């Protein structure tokens, strides 16, 4: 029986990995699995060697403060993978964790094939790292077709599989009538999945909602969260007595609610692709501590944080970052859009045009699982 070790570093990677494994199991049921994963991989029957929360850190200072814990987890993971002795190491996103582990594994046992899903964003920073990947990555699975040139240049085997957040889903059978009884307009909110993001953004978002409620009584707010942080966000809302906000974690319900939303406020990240794909106007917000921001600013070579804006090299989706990420600015920007439907339509049209150029023709999970299947029979 062939073996695969699945390596993720945060919730988004756990979700991506689970979707691929679900498809792979249809192609080949005779595979033994082990992972560093979370609830999504657990839902498809994959055990994890430790809780994913133990390695989820954000920002340079957080990493530095936890450097010894991280090193210990990297070494523990390497030991477990060596002991498991898989045919394929399937690493997903979170390159500062997953690819460090992968490099160590390849040095110990070159026979293990390393397939990495979600290429590091070398077009944003650290472009010179591509050369190093050739030493230990056997195949790179790309979310965007414009990434190919970076890996082709170094003769690293790669396949454009597309982004799973850009796939169309059949939502006709999803019933959300019990959640939207009063028929108010919906504003979807995406506060992030890491505890550091939630602790930073939730107080800001709660003040924004209070400002909205003071001026309007026609909006309901839905927080799109993971199972892991659902309780924490519910507690935030309960303690502030926010009655017109709900917390949802079911993937299908989240997508259905999003598709019925008037507007969305999202933390910076790939979730903005899903929002744009559903044709919902939005803004993005983000805030990290000042030292992390200065370090990041010195390393990146793009002007924007949002992928839609990066591709177009102009701001299509407003970015409220750092000092601009405050309740007043969020309120002012959201209200401006809501009062100008033409601006919302323009943003939707520009986003759809952009997405058309980066969508794949088939399912990302299906494409990725097909590549994995080939390595498992070779």
What is residue 124's predicted lDDT score, i.e. its pLDDT?
Answer: 53
- 2-162+360-377 and 185-358 have identical folds: yes
Pick among 3.40.50.300, 3.30.1950.10, 1.10.10.10, 3.40.50.2000: CATH of 185-358: 3.40.50.2000
Rg (CA), the chain: 21
Contacts of 69 (CB under 8 A, 6+ apart): 54
**CA atoms within 13 Å, Cβ hemisphere of 90:** 30
Q: What's the pTM?
A: 0.78
Secondary structure (DSSP) of 211-235: HHHHH-SSEEEEEE--TTTHHHHHH
What distance in Å separates the CA atoms of residue 350 and residue 269, rounded to the nearest whole number?
18
Quick one: DSSP state of residue 128?
Answer: G
What is residue 292's predicted lDDT score, i.e. its pLDDT?
Answer: 67
Cβ pair 257, 239 in contact under 8 A: no
Residue spans of the domains in the chain: they are 2-162+360-377, 185-358
Question: 2-162+360-377, which class in CATH?
Answer: alpha beta
What is residue 362's predicted lDDT score, i.e. its pLDDT?
Answer: 83
Q: How far does Cα 232 stand from its chain's mean position?
A: 19
What distance in Å separates the CA atoms of residue 196 and residue 176, rounded to the nearest whole number?
30
Chunked mean pLDDT (size 10), the chain, 378 residues? 95 92 94 95 96 66 62 94 98 92 97 95 66 93 90 94 82 82 90 88 97 96 93 95 95 94 93 94 90 65 83 94 96 98 97 87 91 90
Identify the CA nearest to 246 among candidates 273, 219, 207, 279. 219
């Amino acid at each position: 029986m062939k073996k695969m070790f699945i390596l993720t570093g945060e919730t988004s990677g756990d979700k991506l990995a689970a979707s691929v494994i679900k498809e792979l199991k249809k192609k080949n049921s005779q595979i033994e699995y082990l992972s560093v994963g979370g609830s999504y991989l657990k839902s498809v029957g994959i055990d994890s060697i430790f809780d994913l929360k133990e390695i989820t850190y954000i920002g340079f200072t957080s990493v530095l403060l936890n450097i010894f814990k991280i090193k210990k987890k990297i070494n523990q993971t390497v030991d477990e993978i060596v002991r498991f002795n898989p045919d394929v190491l399937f690493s997903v996103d979170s390159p500062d964790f997953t690819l460090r582990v992968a490099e160590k594994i390849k040095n110990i046992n070159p026979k293990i094939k390393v397939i990495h899903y979600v290429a590091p964003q070398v077009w944003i920073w650290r472009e010179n790292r591509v050369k190093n990947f050739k030493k230990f990555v056997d195949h790179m699975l790309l979310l965007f077709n414009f990434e190919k040139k970076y890996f082709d240049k170094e003769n690293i085997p790669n396949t454009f599989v597309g982004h799973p957040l850009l796939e169309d889903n059949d939502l006709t059978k999803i019933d959300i009538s019990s959640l939207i009884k009063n028929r108010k307009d919906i504003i979807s909110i995406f506060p992030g999945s890491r505890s550091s993001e939630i602790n930073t953004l939730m107080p800001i978002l709660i003040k924004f909602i209070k400002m909205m409620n003071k001026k309007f009584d026609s909006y309901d707010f839905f927080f799109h969260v993971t199972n892991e942080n659902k309780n924490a966000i519910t507690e935030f809302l309960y303690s502030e007595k926010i009655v017109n906000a709900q917390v949802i974690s079911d993937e299908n319900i989240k997508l259905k609610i999003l598709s019925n939303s008037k507007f969305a406020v999202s933390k910076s990240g790939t979730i903005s692709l899903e929002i744009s794909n559903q044709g919902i106007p939005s803004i993005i917000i983000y805030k990290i501590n000042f030292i992390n921001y200065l370090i990041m600013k010195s390393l990146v070579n793009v002007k924007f944080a949002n992928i839609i804006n990066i591709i177009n090299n102009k701001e299509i989706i407003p970015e409220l970052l750092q000092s601009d990420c405050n309740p007043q600015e969020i309120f002012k920007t959201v209200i401006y859009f809501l009062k100008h439907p033409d601006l919302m339509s323009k943003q939707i049209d520009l986003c759809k045009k952009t997405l058309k150029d980066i969508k794949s023709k088939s399912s990302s999970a299906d494409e990725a699982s097909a590549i994995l299947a080939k390595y498992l029979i070779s």
